[in-house]
Amino acid sequence: MIEPDRDPRLVVVVLFGGRSSEHSISCATAGGVLAAIDREKYRVIPVGITTDGAFTLQSDDAAAFALDSAHLPTVHDNGTRILWPDSASSRTLTVVEADGTRHPLAEIDIVFPILHGRFGEDGTLQGMLELLGLPYVGAGVLGSAVGMDKHFTKTVLQHSAIDVAPWICVTTTAWRTDRDAVVARVEEQFDWPVFVKPARAGSSVGVSKAADAASLRTAIDAGLAEDTKVLIETALVGREIECAVLAGRDGGPPRVSVAGEIVTPSGTFYDFDAKYLDPDAASLVCPAELTDAQVAKMQELASLAFLAIDGTGLARVDFFLTETGFVVNELNTMPGFTPISMFPKCWLASGLSYPQLIDELITLGLETAR
């Protein structure tokens, strides 16, 4: 008797969309990954999470998720539902079709969560995958949670003697209780302007620069619309330098790319439009013009910062290069990952192509799960 052909490829569940304000950016990244992943090696199951949190089976169509200024892609609720394995000893992914029929889709080898922001990059989804006993790409529960929360990222970095911009954290409760006290504290501790940002957001959503008490009030309201706490911090003057980190193989030290630079016209900052919509508002230069000593210092700090937040898999480490040296702004444990994003660009300039990078991330995810 002839055995039926078994598909020898690894099954990768690509998860994208999600409940955060960065839903569309995640879809765009998924489009990039779907277009570039090695189909001879991997069988891809695209699972889109709608903005209200439904897990749906999506068509394997990279073009449907392209991002441009006229079109922010989203996950359309097509009525299908994904059912995860029913115990930690099963790997069976099931789909319930829109008409209610259900059938097994595949035996999962690894989940690739390409999700930015809350409920995707913050440890919650990672916790679900841990409970299910499924291997996954990227940072674990703690690293994701620390990296998502700018207050705790900075607290942990400061403990490792890594420079961060001085900040205070203001909760919705504190703001509701006594606005004047918050404004007075900022005036006492900082010079104008200051930056105000939600503790747990991304893509510059809710980030603003405030030059006086009146604009500070507006900025705090805008930040608290995204989260229940905001950071108010010293506005730094310097170049915005970023680099990409991959975890080491087999317990080795993290690998750090060359530097990239975000160049924005003077007087502006790297806001949502500059990041994704307005092609003239910012340019990504990679490799950035730095001395060998500066690159070495940046790489040392990036590696330290990655380990400090308990990073695994990957992260992008963002710095300001000020007159007094490198200051870490933040770490992103699932950075923008379209082929033109900084993370893949930095690796390309360091000798790793986009498809190779995807391959490397999956390999690291499988290694972590061993």
Ligand X SMILES: Nc1ncnc2c1ncn2[C@@H]1O[C@H](COP(=O)(O)OP(=O)(O)O)[C@@H](O)[C@H]1O
The least CB distance from residue 218 to ligand X, in Å, is 16
One residue of 269, 277, 339, 349 binding ligand X per CB under 6 A: 269
Q: Which stretch binds ligand X (CB under 6 A): 47-55, 201-209, 248-256, 355-363?
A: 201-209
Q: Which stretch binds ligand X (CB under 6 A): 41-49, 213-221, 227-235, 305-313?
A: 227-235
One residue of 235, 277, 307, 366 binding ligand X per CB under 6 A: 235
The rounded distance, in Å, linking the Cα atoms of 254 and 172 is 37
One residue of 233, 316, 326, 343 binding ligand X per CB under 6 A: 233
What's the Cα-to-Cα distance from 22 to each of 26, 27, 154, 230, rounded to whole Å?
A: 6, 9, 22, 18
The least CB distance from residue 269 to ligand X, in Å, is 4
Q: Does 24 bind ligand X (CB under 6 A)?
A: no
Q: Which stretch binds ligand X (CB under 6 A): 86-94, 176-184, 202-210, 339-347?
A: 202-210
Q: Does 201 bind ligand X (CB under 6 A)?
A: yes
Cβ contact 325:163 at 8 Å: yes
Choose between 109 and 240: whose C-beta lies nearer to ligand X.
240
Q: In what order do the strands lie in the sheet with 167-171?
A: 167-171, 229-234, 194-198, 208-210
Q: Which stretch binds ligand X (CB under 6 A): 105-113, 229-237, 249-257, 286-294?
A: 229-237
Choose between 192 and 269: whose C-beta lies nearer to ligand X.
269
One residue of 270, 277, 339, 359 binding ligand X per CB under 6 A: 270
Q: Does 165 bind ligand X (CB under 6 A)?
A: yes
**Which long-range contacts does 291-300 make (Cβ < 8 Å, 24+ apart)?**
294/259, 294/321, 295/258, 295/259, 297/325, 297/326, 298/241, 298/243, 298/256, 298/259, 298/326, 299/243, 299/256
The least CB distance from residue 304 to ligand X, in Å, is 19
Tell which positions 180-199 bind ligand X, by CB under 6 A.
Answer: 195, 197
Structure tokens at 132: 């299910």
* β-bridge pairing 208-210 and 167-171: unpaired
Q: Does 236 bind ligand X (CB under 6 A)?
A: yes
The rounded distance, in Å, linking the Cα atoms of 23 and 272 is 13
The rounded distance, in Å, linking the Cα atoms of 36 and 96 is 28
> If we measure between CA atoms, which residue out of 131, 123, 91, 127 comes closest to residue 110?
91
Choose between 42 and 320: whose C-beta lies nearer to ligand X.
320
Cβ contact 260:286 at 8 Å: yes
Q: Does 227 bind ligand X (CB under 6 A)?
A: no
What's the Cα-to-Cα distance from 95 to each of 50, 92, 138, 177, rounded to whole Å?
A: 16, 10, 25, 48
The rounded distance, in Å, linking the Cα atoms of 365 and 314 is 10
The rounded distance, in Å, linking the Cα atoms of 47 and 30 is 10
One residue of 18, 46, 143, 202 binding ligand X per CB under 6 A: 202
Choose between 13 and 275: whose C-beta lies nearer to ligand X.
275
Q: Which stretch binds ligand X (CB under 6 A): 90-98, 134-142, 200-208, 352-360?
A: 200-208
List residues near ligand X by CB under 6 A: 165, 195, 197, 201-204, 207, 233-236, 240, 269-270, 318, 329-330
